[in-house]
Amino acid sequence: MNVYDSERMTGLLRPLGYSPTANPDEADLVILNTCHIREKAAEKVYSELGRLTEVKARGGKIAVAGCVAQAEGKEIKARAPQVDLVFGPQSYHHLPELIAKSAREAGLALETDFAAVEKFDALAEGRQADGYAAFVTIQEGCDKFCTFCVVPYTRGAEVSRGTDAIAAEVRDLAAQGVVEITLLGQNVNAWRGAAPAGATQDSLGLGGLCRHLAQIDGIERIRFTTSHPADMDDELIAAFADEPKLMPYLHLPVQSGADRILKAMNRRHTADTYIRMIERIRQARPDIAISGDMIVGFPGEDEGAFEETLALVEAVEYASCFSFKYSRRPGTPGATLPKQVAEDIKAERLQRLQALLERQKQHFNAQQVGKILPVLFEKPGREAGQLVGRSPYLQAVFAPLPDHALGQIVPVRILSTRPNSLEAAALDVAA
């Protein structure tokens, strides 16, 4: 979502005469779009700010955007007085006004209010597509309050964007050549909206929205991220079964495999209900690839609880999975729980978990060898005469193809695997 938000900010600044530069030292304005999810990400902001001395020396401005801005607001000014603008994730559409204000008045321009719906549409207006795959925000915020997580505090309550506004943006992107859309939200499968005109039901869930968007000419692939297991409803599972444009790939974080820890995390599911949910989804779409998020070292996690996490991973067989050491976030209930886990134990568990997840990922990739997969080719590859694109399972695939295949979904034969990609051959048309 931060990548999407940064792209939109770039779009907003263009009419003001700004263009992107790869070199921060020559910038008139540097915006750090920040993440507050783990301490390490938040601390990076301050070390990055310390490095931006040239910008100020040349009279440029420095802005901090995103969730660190939202959560730490004025503290940023105290720790980094060189910062001119601070604005939270709900204020991006006010960026032009904030810049004008900061040019007019001395001191810090600060905005950290919540008004998500207004922002969705303001950011989408006049959007220029950049490539063949595009992110589309349809939901923001989270009401789940997992006890480790800052998102409900930094991004606010769950808000769904309207069906018609989403469809209008997707139609507009399709008209600009976009073939694949990824619907975004912190808790995207909690999305609900009004049914479009002529529909029999009153409202839609995410499954219905995917079917609705699948009817837009030019849109060939639909993805969404990130989902909560408790919001995987029947409508969405059914869409996986019979909407071929919905890609067979689902990111469904579980966080832990131990019920005691899941309860302390306020996850609202058990290891067993999660595994059964995955089984139901696989019944609906047998070729689906599952990805996830895992946290090791949540307070109270002992060796036995960690082994239950390993057992869940063995049972699910992930195509890919992100894993993190628990990071104590101020203001969240987890931060004050007893039995915090020592850093060296977290590091050791993370290593064991990641070794298992890496084996599963390599196994999943190896299973594709010999198959023909439809790949959306998006960019030139590493070598001349080669393109790179994405398989239905989000794997990067390199194949020898001419430039005119860019933006097309081309079936290719998978030949071999590399650590983070697949190599493929173009099909012999005559064969």
**Per CB under 6 A, 149 contacts ligand SF4:** yes
Euclidean distance between CA atoms 310 and 256, whole angstroms: 9
Residue whose C-alpha is closest to residue 119's, from 223, 24, 22, 8: 8
Backbone φ and ψ of 403, nearest 5° = -60, -30
| Local structure of residue 38 (DSSP, 8 states) | S
Among 64, 109, 146, 305, binds ligand SF4 (CB under 6 A): 146
**Partner in contact with 185, chosen from ligand 5AD, ligand SF4, none, beta carbon below 5 to 8 Å by kind:** none
Nearest approach in angstroms of CB 141 to ligand SF4 is 9
Q: E strands, 152-288, where? A: 159-160, 180-184, 193-194, 203-204, 221-225, 249-251
Nearest approach in angstroms of CB 143 to ligand SF4 is 8
Total residues binding ligand SF4 (CB under 6 A): 10
Contact 316, 292 (CB under 8 A): yes
DSSP for 392-422?
TTS-EEEEE--GGGTT-EEEEEEEEEETTEE
Please list every residue from 205 through 234 that binds ligand SF4, using CB under 6 A. 228
**Partner in contact with 329, chosen from ligand SF4, ligand 5AD, none, beta carbon below 5 to 8 Å by kind:** ligand 5AD
The answer to whether the bond into 34 is cis (omega within 30° of 0) is no
Nearest approach in angstroms of CB 41 to ligand 5AD is 10
Among 187, 256, 320, 391, binds ligand SF4 (CB under 6 A): 187
Among 91, 186, 256, 323, binds ligand SF4 (CB under 6 A): 186
**Partner in contact with 37, chosen from ligand SF4, ligand 5AD, none, beta carbon below 5 to 8 Å by kind:** ligand 5AD
Please give the residue ranges that form the binding site for ligand 5AD (CB under 6 A).
Answer: 37-38, 148-149, 253, 255, 293, 295, 324, 326-327, 329
Among 68, 138, 151, 397, binds ligand SF4 (CB under 6 A): 151
**Partner in contact with 228, chosen from ligand 5AD, ligand SF4, none, beta carbon below 5 to 8 Å by kind:** ligand SF4
SS3 content of the chain, % helix, strand, coil (to 5): 40, 20, 35
**Partner in contact with 145, chosen from ligand 5AD, ligand SF4, none, beta carbon below 5 to 8 Å by kind:** ligand SF4
Euclidean distance between CA atoms 41 and 325, whole angstroms: 13
Coil, helix or strand at residue 118? helix
Euclidean distance between CA atoms 377 and 246, whole angstroms: 18
Nearest approach in angstroms of CB 301 to ligand SF4 is 16
Q: Where are the alpha helices (DSSP H) in 243-342?
A: 259-264, 271-284, 303-316
**Per CB under 6 A, 144 contacts ligand SF4:** yes
Please choose, out of 2-10, 89-97, 113-121, 143-151, the segment that lies near ligand SF4 by the rule CB under 6 A: 143-151
Residues contributing to the annotated binding site: 142, 146, 149
Binding site for ligand SF4 (CB under 6 A): 142, 144-146, 149, 151-152, 186-187, 228
